[in-house]
Structures are given as C-alpha cells and as structure tokens.
Homo-oligomer: A and B are copies of this chain.
Amino acid sequence: MLTQADNDYLCRVGPGTPMGNLLRRFWMPAIISTELPEPDCAPVRLRLLSEDLVAWRNTDGSVGIMQNACPHRGASMFFGRNEENGLRCVYHGWKFDNEGQCVDMPNEPAESNFKHKIKATAYPTEEAGGVVWVYMGPIASRPVLPRPEWTLVPAAQRVVTKYRQENNWVQGIEGGIDSSHVSFLHSMVAQHKPNYTGGQLAGVGSSLFSADKAPEFRVATTDFGLMIGARRRVAEEQDYWRVTPFSLPFYTVIPNLPEGDPHFSGHGWVPIDDEHCWLLTYSWHPSRPMSDFGEQPGHPAHWAPMQPGTRIPRACAENDYEIDREMQRSMNYTGIANVSIQDRAIQETMGPIYNRTKEHLGSADTAIIMMRRLLMKLARELEAGAEPYAAQHGEVLTVRSAGYIAPAGISFVEHSEPLMRVSMK
C-alpha cells in the first residue's frame, strides 16, 4: 500500500516531476525503426513522458526528434516537409535540424539573423536493435547507449513489436515482475482443477508453473535493478527457480523453462504519459536465427490482432477484451484468447493510474514492493543530486532471465548471476 502522495510520486512522469527526471536519465525506446522506413519519408508523431514530439528520418538516414510545435507560432511539425536533412514547417517554411536549430527562415529578410536565435526542443537519438532510442535528459548527464542483448544480436535473431496500453507504466512493470500470476491468469482450466478440488488429481496434467501455485519469493537488489527469484517445489528436495530481472528503469525478461530452446522474451513499459504506455516486446535468440518465431502460436505476445492502421489491439476495454465465457468455463482461466491480452486486460482495468492506497499485498508481492521502493529511492537520490548508477553504467543492463531446477537450499543469487549476466558468458 502507498499513500496517495507516494503513488503520484511513483507514477507521474511529466516534465519537472521527480520520477520523470529519473526516467529522463535513461535512453528510452522511442519508435520502432521501421516506422521511419527510409530517408526523407513522412514524419511520425510520438508522445513520451507527456511530451508531444515528432520524429523524422533525415536524408543521411539519421533520425531527428523534436517538439511537435513550431517554435514560431505553434503549428504542428507533423505536417512538415522532410527535406534535405531537416524538417520544415509548412506554415512559413522554417526548417530545423536534428538538434532543433532553425537552419532556414525564408519568410524573414535574408539579412535578419533571427533564425540563429531559434532553437526548438530536440533530443539526441541512436538506433540499435531495430529501435530508435531517445535521450530526453540534460545533455551534461548523457550516457552512452546501453545495449541489452537483443540489440546486440543480428537482426535475424530478434523480433521487436509494440502496442499501446491504456494505463500507467508502473502497473505494467508490476505485472511483468509478478511471477505468481502465471499460475492463474495464463493457465489452462484443466491443469487447475486438481487444486481446486482438493489435490486428489495433483500432478496430472500439471506443468512446472501450476504444480505449486504459491511460489516463495526471494528478491535481491543489484546494480541493474532487481533479481527476482520465484521458487516452486517440484519434487522432493528439488526446486524450480524462475528468475526475472527488473532492469532499470522499466524492463523485464521472462524466465525460461529449464528445458527447451533457449530464446528469451521480455517487455518494456515506455510511458507515453501518466495514463498510457507502450508495451515494447522483444524476443531474441543468442545464437541462431528466429526466422519462424513470429508465426509460432506458442509466442502470441507479438501478434494479437490489431485495430486496422493502429498499434492498438482489437481486444480492448470497449469489447471486454473479447472475453468468451464458455472458453473461460471449459478451456482457459480467463476466457481471453491471447496471453498478451490477458495481461493487458488486467493492467488496464486496474484504472488509468492504479490506486495503491487500497491494495493488500501478500508475500507473493515482495518484488513489487521492492521495485517501487527502488524507483522512489533513485528518484529521491536524484533530487538530492546523485545520478542513477545504472543510467551512467548502462553495460550492467545487459541481462537475461534464468529458469532452472536446482537442489533445495542453494543461493539463488550466486546460482543465477552467471546465467543472467551476458558479460560473464
């Protein structure tokens, strides 16, 4: 439970907010690179941390991101002409470069030096992993771009997609680091029935997730954020550990099954504003192409059907996420077809900004409690003048998840670290 003041402190990220200042210390995924498919193509609108922006790809291939309002008289730069390494406002022809500098002002006398005085808000960008990254913080604090593993592998070994969620980013993270919900929200009814009817069928049809629905949690604070271990007893003296990294400021990687093909998937919840976020989903294989991955029914996170021409899923609040009550009775736990939409349904219906003054957290929510504390601690430290370590040392953010079966009694941190730190491989 949080006070209303702490809830606001944690969730609100507009210009000038402490948490907004913290997030602005990190490079953030702005758009998918293919949204700007070629030099001098049409600009795109974006909104990040409550700032209205426009992105365009220059003649030289670089990407500019600036305020979506001409500094002259406020016309939308989205309608601008993208030409010769700059974006030109269609109202009076003022043209801006990547740095927001006005480089042409054809409606003022040539002898005027007015254009040199005009600089729009613009942010540095870089491209990696098929994503355009943006740094919206003070230039003096600008770090090198961190490279999570999915940005380091060849393009063929990676799939990156995004869709829009109608809720605050923090409750997205809370869903992502909540290892306990997979035994329910994403489960099949058949596997659950045993537990509900007293255990006489225990083990029949169960998976590693559902065999023990009340995992024990261990959470360790690390340089990249949190290392979150969920331990399920699967056999005598044998534990199944799912270890999720919470990687600053808003990333996770889903733990793998111990066996099977070792590819990874994870999420980032990128704040559009206080009541909306992008769900970025990345999947990668460290060593082999994922050519068929995008079509595998086993990984539905990437392709819930979208509303035409948008990045908004067709299954949404207005249609109750296309819930099918018969499916809910007989097949899966929710009656909602897609794992990714199941998460979306929960996270959105908690409210635009989840009210944490009324919740009741249990032992399964340990990671959530620690994630909130960590973010608020870092924001308070930044208010006091201390830059966040992980932002300045982005190399620590290159982490995987882990999933393994181990004898009872191990130290999960020592056991997990070599699996998670890519640099140690």
Contacts and interface: CB of A to CB of B under 8 A. Distances in A.
B92 A364 contact: yes
A183 B361 contact: no
Given A73-B359, A74-B358, A358-B74, A346 B91 contact: yes
Interface in A335-379: 335-336, 342, 345-346, 349-351, 354-355, 358-365, 368
A316 interface: no
Interface stretch (A11-19, A27-35, A101-109): A101-109
B363 A112 contact: yes
A50 interface: no
Contact of A92 (B84, B184, B351): B184
A76 interface: yes
How many chain copies?
A: 3
A99 to B, nearest CB: 16
A422 interface: no
A83 B189 CA distance: 12
Contacts of A363: 108-109, 112, 114
Given A196-B83, A346-B90, A107 B74 contact: no
Interface stretch (A220-228, A293-301, A320-328, A381-389): A320-328
Interface string A8-44: 0000000000000000000000000000000001100
A5 interface: no
A355 to B, nearest CB: 7
A305 to B, nearest CB: 19
Interface residues of A, number: 66
A256 to B, nearest CB: 21
A105 B214 CA distance: 9
A234 interface: no
B362 A114 contact: yes
A361 B93 contact: no
Interface string A56-96: 00000000000001011111101101011000001111000
B362 A90 contact: no
Contact of A81 (B69, B78, B216, B328): B328
A71 B334 contact: no
B92 A181 contact: yes
Contacts of A321: 79
A254 to B, nearest CB: 17
Nearest to A333: B90
A128 interface: no
A195 interface: yes
Nearest to A84: B196
A118 interface: yes
B106 A323 contact: no
A98 to B, nearest CB: 19
Interface in A99-127: 105-110, 112, 114, 117-118
A350 B75 contact: yes
A174 interface: yes
A353 to B, nearest CB: 11
A37 to B, nearest CB: 12
A110 to B, nearest CB: 7
A180 interface: yes
A351 B73 CA distance: 11
Interface of A: 41-42, 69, 71-76, 78-79, 81, 83-84, 90-93, 105-110, 112, 114, 117-118, 174, 180-181, 183-185, 195-196, 213-216, 320-321, 323, 325, 328, 333-336, 342, 345-346, 349-351, 354-355, 358-365, 368
Shortest beta-carbon contacts, A-B, top 3 = A76-B349, A74-B350, A42-B325
Given A81-B328, A114-B362, 7 more contacts: A42-B325, A74-B354, A74-B358, A78-B349, A79-B346, A93-B213, A107-B362
